[in-house]
Amino acid sequence: AAMRDQSIERTKTVCTYCGVGCSFEVWTKERHILKIEPTHGPANGVSTCIKGKFSWDHINSEERVTTPLIREGDWFRQASWEEALALIARKFTETRRQYGPDALAFIASSKCTNEDSWMMQKLARAVIGTNNMDNCSRYCQSPATMGLWRTVGYGGDSGSITDIEQAGLVIGIGTNTAESHPVLATRVKRSHKLRGQRLIVADLREHEMAQRADLFVQPRPATDFVWLTGVTKYILDEGLEDKAFISQWVNGLDEYRQSIDRYTLAYAEEVTGIPEAALRQIAHEIVQADGTCIMWAMGVTQQCGGSETSTAISNLLLVTGNYMRPGAGSYPLRGHNNVQGASDMGAMPGFVGGYQKVDDPEVRAKFEAKWGVPLPTTKGLDNHEMVHAVHEGTLRVMYLKGEEMAIVDSNVNYVDEAFEKLDFFVVQDMFFTRTAQFADVVLPASPSLEKDGTFTNTERRIQRLYKALEPMGDSKPDWEIIQLVANALGANWNYRHPSEIMEEIASLVPLYAGVTYERLEGFKSLQWPVLPDGSDTPLLFTEGFPFPDGKARLYPAEFVPPVEVSNAEYDLHFNNGRMLEHFHEGNMTFKSPGVSSKVPGTFVEVSPELASERGLESGRFVRLVSRHGAVRVPVVVTSRVQGKQLYMPMNTQDAHQAVNRLTGSHTDLSTHTPAYKDTAVRMEILPEM
Ligand code: SF4
């Protein structure tokens, strides 16, 4: 110890990438990041994946934006904070005066802290007076939240990641868990291998979890609802349901039963292509298992019927009594590190913090009493509606932080046109992103290692991150920037530290009532709901469900078929998603040379059958053309995909290769989550170079 370099600092932080929420110590010396050391993470123990361990070079990247930038003609010049804030205040005020508060819209970030998101929605509501407020859970898990609200009342994972380990049976649907939630996947892999846990996977693509599964089924695109409902009906028809659980805890069985009348196993096989025998096996495995957990992700939610399928998953769990105990329940796997938290904080158009409705007068009265201003009374625009409203000319100003909408929103060609139409656009980010190129003002934000705050992971676990480094240049933590903007607009906010923001959150959001920074010190964490005395809720449903009579509800649901069915012109199904090494648009991970040298760019996976039919080999470039745009990418021939299905990772640094050049503007009917996975394309083979 005497030899140890005393100038090395060890600071606890939480991973900035996926929703697993791994926590670890980061070792720094001056601005150098020496090592990531996982020690006591409640979600990860001593594990991390390649991103959490090695992808931190973005922090010291020369590409960081370190001063405010103001557009001048076709490009930007550096500006002082005073000048940038004065310009923003003038433009926001003029727009509000001329067109009303709903001519402005705000987008928070699921990569930012809870405190950052709280400040953004407070700025929108209390300073500007609009509910036009959203975050990127709109792009991923809103349908899962909807399905759970309808049936069990809370839109969160039923238990902890460790509960999934205890299940007798884990079913993964539309989740490439080994690449998208790697550390959570290792726990399932371990239980499966060592404890005899059963694993069933339903996916279009034979990814690692599918290869490991005891049973792997490949439904036709966008048909998960049908096989899930077919299995549920079979269980009910055979009298295999959990009668005691239903009679004590579940309402609506008769109505639900009628609504699923047509979903026989024969019909399910006809629609999904999964053999009846496999569906029967799934039904029997669920009823025989000592607890079933269902994990799902974007393969389910990014469809026109994403909410309906999420509802069907929860219905199946209710019928089989798979709630209210460890090792059972629903596990929608959250994408970004803080996608759960951004929604918890009310960065959504219809809810203030804790899913309290903006159109509920009692809720508004509580917030108005605390904030001392009247609040807007009706639901605002979500991300999807914002883009349309800009095209229609009713939305004129946007303030977006920490999201690369011009790559990750669907139908980016349409999004680009909207950004060009805006009267005034503020982008707050640590990099000069593609989205920032459309901005009028760019504000330099700090990444996770340069700020204090909290993140809430996929299992509702609230964890603290501590500032390991000072903000680079003139950049600032997001909450501080938003406070400056609010005060430039005439507010008088005086938060000195994110802990003071959390005090306000705890006072207004019942789910966070007992959260304090002291209770989250170091590696301590709390899973919401957190009661005022600080007791938390690892297992979400113990004494019933959050409905007036304490009972869950079977929700009648209807199959929503895909919109973009293949035809003669667009004959291939285009699937898309993540890869292990990179995160989203790659603004962070591609800046780590070790990681990006391993996987320098994106590609399209083509099945061996299709490759041989078209005379294709790995490495050959093709042009994929959809009804909405085109991309040029190299081919990887692999049996992970089958038949006429293609798969392309969304992670790219080249905007011309963004998967969302191909996706359309159609969405989940209930939540407006883009139906990214519902896309048909044709493939043109480019001449060899
Ligand atoms: Fe953990 Fe996810 Fe970060 Fe990997 S990306 S270290 S699994 S939180």
pLDDT band at 585 (very low <50, low <70, confident <90, very high): confident
Q: For residue 513, which phi and psi values (nearest 5 degrees)? A: -55, -40
**Unique residue bearing structure tokens 């005066």:** 97
Mean pLDDT over all residues of the chain?
A: 94
What's the longest Cα–Cα distance across the chain?
74
> Does the structure show a pLDDT above 70 at 453?
yes
Among the atoms of ligand 1, which is closest to the Cα of residue 52? 6
Please report the atom of ligand 1 found closest to the CA of residue 181: 7
Question: Do the Cβ atoms of 442 and 68 come closer than 8 Å?
Answer: yes
Q: Which atom of ligand 1 has the smallest separation from the CA of 50?
A: 4
Q: Atom 2, ligand 1: which residue's CA is nearest? A: 18
- Token pair listed for 463: 């964890």
Out of 13, 24, 26, 44, mutate this one to test ligand 1's pocket (max ligand atoms within 8 Å of CB): namely 44
Measure the N-to-C terminal CA separation of the chain; round to a whole number of Å: 59
Domains within the chain, CATH numbers bracketed: 9-60 (2.20.25.90), 69-136+337-527 (3.40.50.740), 142-333 (3.40.228.10), 572-685 (2.40.40.20)
Residue 3 has a pLDDT of 62
Distance 479 CA to ligand 1 centre (A): 24
Closest CA to 663 of 580, 574, 588, 552: 574
Q: Give exposure, 239-262, as e/b (b: 16+ Cβ within 10 Å).
A: ebbbeebbeebbbbbeebbebbee
Is residue 546's pLDDT more than 80?
Answer: yes
- Please give the pLDDT value at position 409: 87
Q: What is the pLDDT of residue 222?
A: 95
Question: Which of 14, 46, 183 gets mutated to test ligand 1 (max ligand atoms within 8 A of its CB)?
Answer: 183
Residue with tokens 């926001």: 92
- Calculate mean pLDDT across residues 538-556: 95
How does pLDDT run across 614-656, given as a tens digit for each residue? 999 999 999 999 999 999 999 999 999 999 999 998 887 787 8
pLDDT at 2 over 70: no
Q: Which of 47, 49, 184, 463 to mutate to test the pocket of ligand 1 (most atoms within 8 A of CB)?
A: 49
Task: Output the CA angle 454-460-462, nearest 5 degrees.
Answer: 25
Lowest mean pLDDT among 28-37, 314-323, 591-600, 656-665: 591-600
Helix, strand, coil percent content, the chain, rounded in steps of 5: 35, 20, 45
Assign 4 a pLDDT band (cuts: 50, 70, 90): low
Quick one: pLDDT at residue 447?
Answer: 95
Among residues 10, 18, 20, the alpha carbon closest in space to that of 41 is found at 20
| Residues ≥6 apart with Cβ < 8 Å to 589 | 17, 51, 55, 58, 581, 582, 583, 595, 596, 651
Ligand 1 pocket list (CB less than 6 A): 15, 17-18, 20-22, 44, 48-49, 51-52, 182-183
From the CA of 107, how far away is ligand 1's center (Å)?
24
Q: If pLDDT is split at 50, 70 and 90, which confidence band does 583 have?
A: confident
Q: How far apart are CA 595 and CA 54, in angstroms?
A: 7
Mean pLDDT, to the nearest integer, of 282-306?
96
Q: What tens digit of pLDDT does each residue of 361-387 get?
A: 999 999 999 999 999 999 999 999 999
In whole angstroms, how far apart are CA 324 and each of 249, 554, 599? 10, 16, 42
Rounded Cα distance, 248 and 549, in Å: 11
Contacts of 202 (CB under 8 A, 6+ apart): 171, 172, 173, 174, 216, 217, 218, 219, 224, 227, 274
**Is residue 1 over pLDDT 50?**
no
Does pLDDT of 132 surpass 50?
yes
Residue 484 in this model has a pLDDT that exceeds 90: yes
Contact of 159 with 294, CB cutoff 8 Å: no
Whole-number Å distance, alpha carbon 512 to ligand 1 midpoint, is 24
pLDDT, one tens digit per residue, over 397-435 is 999 999 998 888 899 999 999 999 999 999 999 999 999
What mean pLDDT is predicted for residues 96-124? 97
Which ligand 1 atom lies nearest to the CA of residue 21?
8
Task: State the distance from the centre of ligand 1 to the C-alpha of 463, rounded, in angstroms.
Answer: 14
Residue pair 663/674 in contact by the 8 Å Cβ criterion: yes
Res. 331 pLDDT band, cuts 50 70 90: very high
Tell me the C-alpha distance between 296 and 313, whole Å.
Answer: 9
pLDDT digits (tens, 9 = 90+) for 561-571: 999 988 999 99
**Residue 452: Cβ within 10 Å count:** 16
Ligand 1 pocket, mutate which of 180, 181, 334 (most atoms under 8 A from CB): 181
pLDDT at 485: 98
**Cα distances (Å, whole numbers) of residue 355 to 111, 204, 349:** 19, 33, 10
Tell me: pLDDT of 293 over 80.
Answer: yes
**Three-state DSSP class for residue 216:** strand
In order, the DSSP letters of 105-154 are EEE--TTS-HHHHHHHHHIIIIII----EE-GGGGTTHHHHHHHHHHTS-
Rounded to the nearest angstrom, the distance between the alpha carbon of 594 and the centre of ligand 1 is 17
Looking up tokens 């026109």, which residue turns up?
A: 304
C-alpha 431/C-alpha 420 separation (Å) is 20
Separation of 154 CA from ligand 1 center, angstroms? 25
pLDDT for res 377: 96
Instruction: Give the pLDDT score at 277.
Output: 98
Of 288, 199, 163, which is closest to residue 539 (Cα–Cα)?
163
- At 179 the three-state DSSP class reads helix
Residue identifier of the C-alpha nearest atom 1 of ligand 1:
22
pLDDT of residue 654: 80
In this structure, the chain runs to a length of 689
Q: Using the predicted structure, report yes or no on whether residue 314 has a pLDDT greater than 70.
A: yes
Atom index in ligand 1 nearest the CA of residue 457 equals: 8
The answer, as to whether pTM is greater than 0.80, is yes
Question: How remote is the CA of residue 1 from the centroid of ligand 1, in Å?
Answer: 30
Query: SS3 string of 33-99?
Result: EEEEECCCECCCECCCCHHHHHCCHHHHCCCECCCCEEEECCEEEECCHHHHHHHHHHHHHHHHHHH
